[in-house]
Amino acid sequence: MKKHFYLLLFVLFIISCKKSEEPAPSNILTPPDWVQGSWTYHGNQTQQELKTVLTSDNIVATLFGDTENLKTFPGKILDGYGYTLSEPTKTATMYEARVTFLGQKDQDLLFYRWTKLDATHVLFYRKAGRSFFEVTLDKD
């Protein structure tokens, strides 16, 4: 009877032990209020859509037919490389976000910068590898 008691006690102990949950990593994407919202390029009408949407905890860019969701980059593996988000830089008139190769903070995969021109316009700069562009976006 003692054996059954200890066996039952052991089984209950194993069942009651659950994996300790690690806290979720904090989201470092926190765009300031002035840049949150939807921003669109209305220049050349023949050009494909260029739009950025910034929320309180994410950035989604639709550029020339491709969508880049920055919240999904941490830990992503593409072509054998791991990617991560670097701590964004923000001021009263500028916000920068960058995706870098995991473990190599000086090597940007993607770099974004929004510079406030006025309440309804920002200067948007995007660099990917060696190519870059800079355009004025209008608030939607």
Q: Which pLDDT value is given to residue 106?
A: 59
- In which band, very low, low, confident or very high, does the pLDDT at 105 lie, cut at 50, 70 and 90? low
8-58 pLDDT per residue, tens: 555 555 555 555 444 444 568 889 999 999 999 987 655 557 899 999 999
Q: What are phi and psi of 33, to 5 degrees?
A: -55, -40
Query: Which positions ≥6 away from 138 have C-beta within 8 Å?
Result: 39, 40, 41, 42, 120, 121
At residue 74, the pLDDT reads 64
Name the least confident of 53-57, 113-117, 130-134.
130-134
Note the pLDDT of residue 80: 61
Mean pLDDT value across the chain? 78
Structural domains of the chain, ranges and CATH numbers in brackets: 27-139 (2.40.128.20)
In percent, how much of the chain has pLDDT > 90? Answer: 34
Average pLDDT over residues 67-88: 73
How many Cβ atoms from other residues are within 10 Å of residue 17's Cβ?
8
Confidence of residue 77 (pLDDT cuts 50, 70, 90): low
